[in-house]
A and B are shown apart, each in its own frame.
Chain A
């Protein structure tokens, strides 16, 4: 059974960098799947942020491209997200998930609430 678990600080100060890690268990990250991040602001819809393949090939949402970096560590079966210069509008539940290329996500983590506030 594939399981994904997000981890990282729940509170980030404005203008700082948000960092999250997703640990995958029950499945090798070095497979035919992409691994991605999705966020959901309180009371709002879902927004795809970025995805990465085990080779390092990645895709970013153009609306966030300039502030986001996604990376993968196959030795730890983990992938990570960094978002710079955060503001209150980046407050959201951040989910990590798995997907095939050109298809949406199937397995999701439980989500991690990140609040941007001083």
Chain B
């Protein structure tokens, strides 16, 4: 049972915009930054978005993050087949004094 809540799956067609939500509470998303990771099978998670809406070097702006209250979301515009992967949200939790994750969302490009 993950502390942050994400849908198990999401899907879209090439060129579409897909949004993946991440729900938390006042002790994590509500008071701290949200990070997003992309993970392909057999590989380590890769940082996609940090500090809610910032891009690490090399990440295209087709990926964007937003946060409102105790929820956050990742939007992927101009969907491509190579975007098919698992996406995880994460935040620091003040009560836990540690990092909490969502369960991960498997994105399928139809």
Binding site for B on A (CB under 8 A): 36, 38, 44-48, 50-51, 59-62, 95, 99, 102-111
Contact = CB atoms under 8 A, between A and B. Distances in A.
Residue with the highest number of chain A CB atoms closer than 10 Å, among B96, B99, B104:
B99
A25 B44 CA distance: 17
A104 B2 contact: no
Contact of A103 (B32, B43, B45, B100): B32
25 contacts: A36-B99, A45-B101, A46-B90, A46-B101, A46-B104, A50-B98, A59-B97, A61-B96, A61-B98, A62-B96, A99-B99, A102-B94, A103-B33, A103-B50, A103-B51, A103-B92, A104-B50, A104-B90, A104-B91, A104-B92, A104-B99, A105-B99, A108-B46, A108-B47, A110-B43
Given A45-B88, A46-B90, A61-B98, A104 B35 contact: yes
Contacts of A108: 44-47
B103 interface: yes
B88 A111 contact: no
A47 B43 CA distance: 16
Nearest to B46: A108
A45 B97 contact: no
Q: Nearest 6 CB-CB pairs, A to B? A: A104-B90, A104-B35, A48-B99, A45-B103, A46-B101, A102-B92
Categorize the interface residue count of chain B.
20 to 34
B102 interface: yes
B100 A48 contact: yes
Residue with the highest number of chain A CB atoms closer than 10 Å, among B2, B32, B97, B104:
B97
Contacts of A109: 44
Contacts of B60: none
Nearest to A105: B99
A32 to B, nearest CB: 15
B1 to A, nearest CB: 10
Contact of A46 (B45, B51, B92, B97): B45
Contacts of A50: 98
B102 A45 contact: yes
A45 B90 CA distance: 11
